[in-house]
A and B are shown apart, each in its own frame.
Chain A
Amino acid sequence: MSEEQPTDGEQVSADRGRLSRRRMLGLTGTGAAVGAATFAGGLGIGRATAAEPAAPPTGTSRTYPFYDAHQAGIVTPAQDRLHFAAFDVTTTSREELVTLLQAWSLAAAEMTQGRPAQAEETSYDSPAADTGEADGLPASGLTLTFGFGPSLFRDAQGKDRFGIADRQPKELKRLPHFPSDNLNPVRSDGDLCVQACADDPQVAVHAIRNLSRIAFGTAEIRWSQLGFGRTSSTSKAQTTPRNLFGFKDGTANLKAEDTKDVDTHVWVGGQDDPAAAWMTGGSFLVTRRINMHIETWDRTSLREQENIIGRDRPHGAPLSGGTEFSEPNFTATGRAKEPLIAMDSHVRLAHPTTNKGAAMLRRGYNFTDGNDALGRLDAGLFFLAYVRRPSTQYIPMQMRMSREDTMMEYVQHTGSALFAVPPGAKQGGYIGQNLFT
């Protein structure tokens, strides 16, 4: 990738000519004025006087441009809330599918700027163009990220569905069965996906609701997942949050600021797959619903919990010593020459040095979907990871972890999907345009 990568949390367009105005719009919040007039005040104005903000924008006023070289919602500093939805395409018409992607792109461009999904006037005697529950709310950093599942290209019998089968990326296949997987098919896979991230759950849910409404007749929701409490940091400006096991999660995650690593591990390159050149600048998204056995974990001694993770709980420091961001020393030994970081600990098995240098950009979320029939919390981590090549990054790593990671005793993977996330749309264009033209 030759395009300039974002150097801070703000999504910066590769097109410098259009950059300044759009960026200004985003920062001042005036772009959000139509849908959220009350918010375009103080915060935004203060911001506008700063020529180059050093830190990523924070607070609910932040907006990210929809039209960009890469889709927003990947290296964007992880927002606090998630509504993720996977769709089944119900039409057989390629034209209708393209029309949907065009309509989704337009609506996404509006909503991410804090405006209603559809701007056009409607009759008093017809339903409103926007469902209305986000009226008056700021953009809240909303990003909408779209992806295509393998089943969009070929049906279960291998038949080309929309004349795009020859362009299916070779990396886009159903994920294999991993040991201990207990997948629920109605929580797995899908033809299309939309990841809505925002700092306000109402804003994220509003976005999925309106996109879903636009899709009726062409596509319908197959499964969706709400998430709270981001479980990773995608920017160095963010503190490391905790997962439901109470441990800091995402300390060693790829960060937007590490542009070289992001180029190497996240963005699909122009030569990666000539038959699927439309994916250049895109990425692959792995989603896994990981249920946690919260109750048994909570009965486990702190000693054992820390040994399973390989880090201490208060600070997230590796058990080989140091502070949270100290590199783990896997050769350090303690009494009886036992490694300080256990051989089957999570941090060791997930570390790039254990995985031929493979890394990924995670932006998972905690979830709690009430409780199960036995009164246990139906809770865990909704894992989202962006990788350039699932076959060398996610798959071998998860295979090793499912086999050896002691943490597997406390988790169960209950949903699974892989999507191809195309590059961003150009102004006036739509998501996935290069696939269909």
Chain B
Amino acid sequence: MSRRTLSLAVAALVAVGLSGCTSNEPTKDSSSGSGKLAVSSTTDKCELSTKEAPAGNLVFNVTNKGTKVTEFYLLGEDGLRIVGEVENIAPGLSRDLVVRAPAGKYFTACKPGMVGKGIRSDFTVTKSDANLEPTGDDKVLADNASTQYGSYVKDQTEQLLTQTTTFVGLYKSGKDDEARKLYADARMHWERVEPVAESFGDLDPKMDLREADLEPGQKWTGWHRIEKDLWPPKSGYTKLTPTERTTIADQLLKDTKTLYTRTRTAKYPTDKISNGSKELMDEVATGKVTGEEEKWSHTDLWDFQANVDGARIGFEGVRPIVKKKNAALDSSIATKFTALQKLLDKHKKGTGFKLYNELTPAEIKELSTGVNALSEPLSKLTAAVTL
């Protein structure tokens, strides 16, 4: 389970406009050829080291030398369209704004105290050799990605609800064999959209907490509580009574319904989708490939596959944007998804997979290497889709 997504969800919510370029990452792209542009924001001034720069990736290094929290904007010629912005720069701190800017007339603006129109100046981007493909239809692509991903989440949570309903029914009525059969398959729908499910901080601990994550006195509920009862340790474990089973099962179903309701209307900006893909692979790296997630059932490879599915869908959604902006990254990620899937396919068994404890150390290492190979380029996806 992950708590990291909480802050990301917040970050995504405050991101303005899908074409908003709020990367903190200085770019290695040398197309602008001119290093960083220094911006000094004080209470009543907004000074730039230069009034013009060649087209390409521009890096504004904004330092807040005033006493109030400030923001910096690069605005289009009409003074309305936000080309890029960086927010929440506290006094004394510096932040980079990286934007891809074609030749034209712009405005820069510092906004000390984050109110009003800001302190504006003219800014000119001159023609250069930098290869800047038109970016005007980015918003359409981003909207498409968002819509597609939203549908995917809706579909997965719907299937999750259906399967969970069946699963808890079997479990409550003591049909343990059938419940065990359904466990891993039902959970795949959860694992495919894990970053979304986890962004609801109240639900995640109730639904997906592992025994090791418990604190003293905390009530253990959710999937893994049932997992342990269905695959009990050989000694030192007392199976839950029918009454206890009912309580745990009803709680899981109730929480699943809440998740279902909340995901009907949730929105997914592109950076949230791309970050979600990266996080899913982090989940694989820290929990699934180590066999820590499904300690009792050993069905880690089902979760593994589902995380990869979710990451791939997220990637495919934003792919038209990446293809345009960074074709090399796009092909690297695509190739590595294929390679990792091949590795996973080796362990398919019937409609499912081998159990984690049937894998050899060499096979686990091979999977881990595949995860690393994919995760590295995937970690650059967000910067690529937001720039």
Please provide the chain B residues from 328 to 387 with a CB less than 8 Å away from any CB of chain A in the complex: 361, 364-365, 368-369, 372, 375-376, 378-379, 382-383
B290 interface contact, C-beta 8 A: yes
A405 to B14, CA, bound (A): 21
Q: Mark A115-136, 1 if CB is under 8 A from B, else 0.
A: 0000000000000000000000
Task: Choose one: B71, B92, B218; the contact of A321 (CB below 8 Å).
Answer: B92
Chain B hits for A319, CB < 8 A? 88, 90, 93
Cross-chain contact A406 with B214 (CB below 8 angstroms): no
Task: Choose one: A180, A299, A335; the contact of B212 (CB below 8 Å).
Answer: A180
Chain A: CB-nearest residue to B210: A180
Chain A: CB-nearest residue to B69: A334
Chain B: CB-nearest residue to A296: B282
B11 interface contact, C-beta 8 A: yes
Max chain B Cβ within 10 angstroms of own Cβ: one of A301, A333, A344: A301
Cross-chain contact B24 with A334 (CB below 8 angstroms): no
Task: Choose one: B2, B3, B14, B275; the contact of A338 (CB below 8 Å).
Answer: B14
Q: Mark A301-332, 1 if CB is under 8 A from B, else 0.
A: 11110111000101101111111001000001
Contact A344-B90, Cβ < 8 Å, known A299-B375, A375-B368: no
Contact A307-B7, Cβ < 8 Å, known A323-B92, A340-B88: yes
Cross-chain contact A338 with B24 (CB below 8 angstroms): no
Cross-chain contact A409 with B3 (CB below 8 angstroms): yes
Chain B: CB-nearest residue to A182: B212
Chain B hits for A180, CB < 8 A? 212-213
Contact A403-B215, Cβ < 8 Å, known A319-B90, A332-B90, A408-B3: yes
Cross-chain contact A409 with B2 (CB below 8 angstroms): yes
Chain A hits for B275, CB < 8 A? 301
Q: Mark A164-180, 1 if CB is under 8 A from B, else 0.
A: 00000000000011111
Contact A299-B376, Cβ < 8 Å, known A317-B93, A326-B92: yes
Cross-chain contact B286 with A335 (CB below 8 angstroms): no
B172 interface contact, C-beta 8 A: no
Cross-chain contact B90 with A295 (CB below 8 angstroms): no
Task: Choose one: B69, B93, B216, B369; the contact of A177 (CB below 8 Å).
Answer: B216
Cross-chain contact B216 with A374 (CB below 8 angstroms): no
Please provide the chain B residues from 198 to 253 with a CB less than 8 Å away from any CB of chain A in the complex: 212-216, 218
Q: Mark B92-110, 1 if CB is under 8 A from A, else 0.
A: 1110000000000000000
Give the contact-size bracket for chain B: 35 or more
Contact A335-B6, Cβ < 8 Å, known A178-B215, A179-B215, A312-B93: no
Task: Choose one: B214, B361, B364; the contact of A179 (CB below 8 Å).
Answer: B214
Task: Choose one: A177, A303, A340; the contact of B24 (CB below 8 Å).
Answer: A303
Chain B: CB-nearest residue to A298: B379
Cross-chain contact A335 with B92 (CB below 8 angstroms): no
A363 to B24, CA, bound (A): 32
Cross-chain contact B8 with A295 (CB below 8 angstroms): no
B91 interface contact, C-beta 8 A: yes
Chain B nearest CB from A378 CB (Å) reads 13
B114 interface contact, C-beta 8 A: yes
Q: Mark B260-276, 1 if CB is under 8 A from A, else 0.
A: 00000000000000010
Chain B: CB-nearest residue to A311: B93
Cross-chain contact A307 with B11 (CB below 8 angstroms): yes
B19 interface contact, C-beta 8 A: no
Chain A: CB-nearest residue to B2: A409
Chain B hits for A303, CB < 8 A? 11, 23-25
Cross-chain contact B24 with A374 (CB below 8 angstroms): no
B307 interface contact, C-beta 8 A: no
A263 interface contact, C-beta 8 A: no
A135 to B24, CA, bound (A): 51
A376 to B71, CA, bound (A): 39
Chain B hits for A399, CB < 8 A? 215
Chain A hits for B364, CB < 8 A? 373-374
Chain A nearest CB from B205 CB (Å) reads 9
A181 interface contact, C-beta 8 A: yes
A176 to B217, CA, bound (A): 11
B285 interface contact, C-beta 8 A: yes
A373 to B368, CA, bound (A): 10
Cross-chain contact B7 with A308 (CB below 8 angstroms): yes
Cross-chain contact B4 with A335 (CB below 8 angstroms): no
Chain B nearest CB from A410 CB (Å) reads 8
Cross-chain contact A304 with B7 (CB below 8 angstroms): yes
Q: Mark A373-399, 1 if CB is under 8 A from B, else 0.
A: 111100000000000000000000001
Contact A402-B212, Cβ < 8 Å, known A301-B24, A307-B11, A321-B64: no
Interface size on A, residues (CB 8 A): 51
Cross-chain contact A179 with B69 (CB below 8 angstroms): no
A336 to B94, CA, bound (A): 20
Task: Choose one: A179, A295, A326, A404; the contact of B285 (CB below 8 Å).
Answer: A295
Task: Choose one: A179, A322, A342, A373; the contact of B7 (CB below 8 Å).
Answer: A342
Task: Choose one: B4, B13, B24, B214; the contact of A302 (CB below 8 Å).
Answer: B24
Chain A nearest CB from B197 CB (Å) reads 15
Chain A: CB-nearest residue to B372: A295
Chain A hits for B282, CB < 8 A? 296, 299
Chain A hits for B87, CB < 8 A? 334-335
Chain A nearest CB from B203 CB (Å) reads 16
Q: Mark B52-71, 1 if CB is under 8 A from A, else 0.
A: 00000000000010000101
Cross-chain contact B88 with A334 (CB below 8 angstroms): yes
Please provide the chain B residues from 17 to 42 with a CB less than 8 Å away from any CB of chain A in the complex: 23-25
A405 to B215, CA, bound (A): 14
B278 interface contact, C-beta 8 A: yes
Cross-chain contact A374 with B365 (CB below 8 angstroms): yes
Chain B: CB-nearest residue to A303: B24
Chain B hits for A437, CB < 8 A? none
Chain B nearest CB from A198 CB (Å) reads 35
Cross-chain contact A181 with B25 (CB below 8 angstroms): no
Cross-chain contact B4 with A299 (CB below 8 angstroms): no
Contact A301-B114, Cβ < 8 Å, known A308-B7, A317-B92: no
Contact A402-B2, Cβ < 8 Å, known A302-B24, A332-B69, A334-B69: no
A92 interface contact, C-beta 8 A: no
A300 interface contact, C-beta 8 A: yes
Chain A hits for B379, CB < 8 A? 299-301
Please provide the chain B residues from 276 to 318 with a CB less than 8 Å away from any CB of chain A in the complex: 278, 282, 285-286, 289-290, 292
Cross-chain contact A293 with B286 (CB below 8 angstroms): yes
B10 interface contact, C-beta 8 A: yes
Chain B hits for A321, CB < 8 A? 64, 69, 90-93
Cross-chain contact A322 with B212 (CB below 8 angstroms): no
A40 to B289, CA, bound (A): 55
A369 to B162, CA, bound (A): 47
A296 to B283, CA, bound (A): 9
Q: Mark A344-377, 1 if CB is under 8 A from B, else 0.
A: 1000000000000000000000000000011110
A335 to B115, CA, bound (A): 10
A295 to B286, CA, bound (A): 10
Q: List 16 contacting pairs A-B, 8 Å CB cutoff, sorted by A.
A: A177-B216, A182-B212, A293-B285, A293-B286, A299-B282, A299-B378, A302-B25, A303-B11, A308-B4, A321-B91, A334-B114, A342-B7, A375-B365, A375-B369, A406-B3, A406-B7
Chain A to chain B: the 10 pairs with minimum beta-carbon distance, closest first: A321-B90, A334-B88, A299-B379, A321-B91, A374-B368, A179-B215, A409-B4, A322-B92, A296-B282, A303-B24
> B-side interface residues toward A, CB under 8 Å?
2-4, 6-8, 10-11, 13-14, 23-25, 64, 69, 71, 87-88, 90-94, 114, 212-216, 218, 275, 278, 282, 285-286, 289-290, 292, 361, 364-365, 368-369, 372, 375-376, 378-379, 382-383
